[in-house]
Structure 1
Amino acid sequence: MTPVVGIVMGSDSDWPVMEAAAKALDEFEVPYEVDVVSAHRMPHEMIAYGEQAAGRGLKAIIAGAGGAAHLPGMLASVTPLPVIGVPVPLKYLDGMDSLLSIVQMPAGVPVATVSVGGARNAGLLAARILAAHDEELLGRMREFQQDLNDQATEKGKRLRTKVEGSAAGFGFGK
């Protein structure tokens, strides 16, 4: 299948975080490609990737980066596609530097930013973007949301049963 989402990162060391985006896309049977496209170490290739992405059939790009985290913003500056930025946590600052770098984009160059290390949500967001124009994928997304609802409802039932079964309870409402 032709990839419709690009998952790129500044280094292969980002893969343990970014793999969650790939797994989320796998759940929804969304074809993707994965590559290392460093904004600082290979700027010409990074620009070419962004400029050529739409022409190659991609519909969205998920870009993960740590530290200065310029990759998502630089890609957004050269592609008309939606770019989802994933701040990758590093040894220092726990990814806050990455988060602030990605989220603080200038007017006219939007990057949708997920939480630090939130590659799974990036994959889910890409699937939702695609689902806006794909009824089958939209149906799978609705099923996924219903499953989340069912899981949360079941957790609530189990908690209520646990509390109600406790002889002393927690002392509230008595």
Structure 2
Amino acid sequence: MQVHENKALVGILMGSDSDLPVMEAAAEVLRQFGVPFEMAILSAHRTPEQAARYAANAAERGLKVLIAGAGWAAHLAGVLASKTALPVIGVPIDSSPLHGMDALLATVQMPPGIPVATMAVGKGGARNAALFAVQILATADPVLAHRLQEHKADMAQGVLQRNEKIDPAVRVRFQELD
């Protein structure tokens, strides 16, 4: 697999156009890693046939991972997972009066045999869904695996640099801990 191919490897789906601001966080991460993706709005309830058809032919179209974001009791990820053998990552969206708790429970509480990897509610969950998709793809792509290692090292370095904001009189000196 080559990371720089233009053929989509990840499908990002959402139940409504109101979910787009959250799911754009997943797209941003995939762009950052150079992973080609496609996006669609498909509802488990309003367009169930199209959602099922999308999932059923996703693998033959070259997709490797599906990310599904939905709110209001969020059945999209489960519907997709029931129609494909590809990994499906669910992103509960906090669009309902229950602030995403209904979406979280509907996404995480899948029946045995229909697994859905479930992320946190909202944009943080969408970012993590994309990072998890990158991790899955990196198992077969050394270039992507290297980019992922660099990303993790950059995150660690950023955290350690933030220690400079702490008063030197009380700041831990990490070299002394070794």
If the length of structure 2 is used for normalisation, what is the TM-score? 0.89
- 5+ long unaligned stretches in structure 1: 165-174
- Compute the displacement of 1:162 (Å): 7.3
Q: Secondary structure at the match of 2:100?
A: helix
Q: Aligned residues: percent identity?
A: 53
Equivalent in the alignment of 2:32: 27
Deviations 1:93-146 (A, max 9, x none): 110110000000011110000000110111111011100100000000000000
Q: Which of 119, 142, 165 matches 1:158?
A: 165
* 1:19-168 aligned within 5 A: 19-117=24-122, 118-161=125-168, 163=170
Residues 1:73 and 1:135: Cα distance change in structure 2 (over 3 Å): same
Distance 2:75 2:96 in 1: 18
Q: Secondary structure at the match of 1:94?
A: coil
Q: Secondary structure at the match of 2:8?
A: coil
Q: Secondary structure at the match of 1:34?
A: strand
Residues 1:77 and 1:162: Cα distance change in structure 2 (over 3 Å): farther
- Compute the displacement of 1:158 (Å): 2.6
Structure 2 residue identity aligned to 1:98? A
Distance 1:93 1:138 in 2: 38
Deviations 1:44-78 (A, max 9, x none): 00100010000000000000000120000110011
- 5+ long unaligned stretches in structure 2: 1-5, 172-178
- Compute the displacement of 1:157 (Å): 3.6
- Compute the displacement of 1:160 (Å): 4.8
Q: Secondary structure at the match of 2:104?
A: helix
Structure 1 runs of 4+ with >4 Å offset: none
Structure 2 residue identity aligned to 1:10? G
Distance 1:26 1:75 in 2: 23
Compare CA radii of gyration and give the structure with the larger one. Answer: 1
- Compute the displacement of 1:88 (Å): 0.6
- Compute the displacement of 1:163 (Å): 4.5
**RMSD of aligned Cα (Å):** 1.2
